[in-house]
Amino acid sequence: MENRSHLNVKMSALPTPQSFFYGLSLPADFALPDNILLFYHTWNVTRPLSHGRYALVIPFVSMVYQIDSARFALRPGQALLIFPHQLRFVEPGQSYYDRLLITFDLPTPQAYLPQTPLQQIQEGLWPVLERCLDDFQAGRVLELSLGVLEILQLLSRHPVGYQPVTMSQAVTRVLGHICQNLNEELSIDGLAAHVHMSASNLRLIFRKETGISLGKYILLQRLDSARYLLMHTRQSIEEIARSCGFSNVSVFSHCFRQKTSKSPMQFRKQKKASNL
């Protein structure tokens, strides 16, 4: 009865309609998130990606995302919204890249989308996210779409004031070239010529803007690509070494063991056993 009394107060406060045919309307171009995909990554896909979908990244470990010419140091408890056609990839060098991705289509930008790339996650978001996971697994499309809408609205209320580190055009081009040509030799002299710069100048600028040497960055990208192929393909060790740009299997195995304390074959067997 108490709830009913409270409801009566609210109902009696409603104004008399000026017209019985016009009420509150959604914007003419309003659209819900559609064609929604949820997936969980623990690896780094070393090739840069660009597509026409929105992507919401929810990390569970710290990682650095390269979005076009900007670097975002992403931490657990934050979320990153990537807009359509932005070139993106994760910088290498970690053992795991645990993150949940929610990707979706929208015909036009919507008012409920966060207006800044980075947002702070509040406790109230986690129950909504859990509900979305259940709806996705059960194929409840409308419920899932409304849940993703709610997540985006919640994130919009808590933007993170963050100034991304903007990279020079030369370094951005070098990063993209490395990721797209890991199977090649990729000498520093060759990369410098690609961006019309001296090798010494490129080394200096690359370290200044990324915090890592160019040679080490290339090696880490090769090793991340190798780990992905070992976990998710049936390619032989020799094929993986070649496709990741190592001169031979011995060099590949030596570098891989230095980074992971395991041989490529031991790493593959361990990952397969953990997935059984």
What's the whole-number mean pLDDT along residues 75-96? 88
Nearest Cα to Cα of residue 177 among 55, 84, 268, 87: 87
Domain 34-156 class, CATH top level: mainly beta
Q: Where does 167-274 sit in CATH, by number?
A: 1.10.10.60
Instruction: Answer yes or no: is pLDDT of 262 > 60.
Output: yes
The model's pLDDT over 137-186, given as tens digits with 9 standing for 90+, comes to 999 999 999 999 999 999 999 999 877 677 888 988 898 888 888 888 89
Cβ proximity of 113 and 53 under 8 Å: no
**Per-residue pLDDT tens digits for 195-214:** 999 999 999 999 988 888 99
| Strand-by-strand arrangement of the 88-90 sheet | 88-90, 63-67, 70-74, 165-166
pLDDT number for residue 274: 65
Q: What is the mean pLDDT of residues 30-56?
A: 86
Contact 240, 217 (CB under 8 A): no
Query: How far are the Cα atoms of 27, 75, 209 from residue 87, in angstroms, in the given order?
Result: 30, 20, 18
- In which residue are the tokens 């107060």 written? 9
Q: Is 106 within 8 Å of 152 (Cβ atoms)?
A: no
Instruction: Assess whether pLDDT exceeds 90 at residue 224.
Output: no
pTM: 0.75
Element (H, E) at 165: strand 165-166
Give the residue-averaged pLDDT of 241-268: 93
Q: 169 in helix, strand or coil?
A: helix
- Alpha-carbon distance 112 to 149, whole Å? 7
> For the chain, what are the domain ranges?
34-156, 167-274
Q: What's residue 265's pLDDT?
A: 94
Task: Give the separation between CA 119 and CA 167, rounded to whole angstroms.
Answer: 22
| Helix/strand/coil for 78 | strand
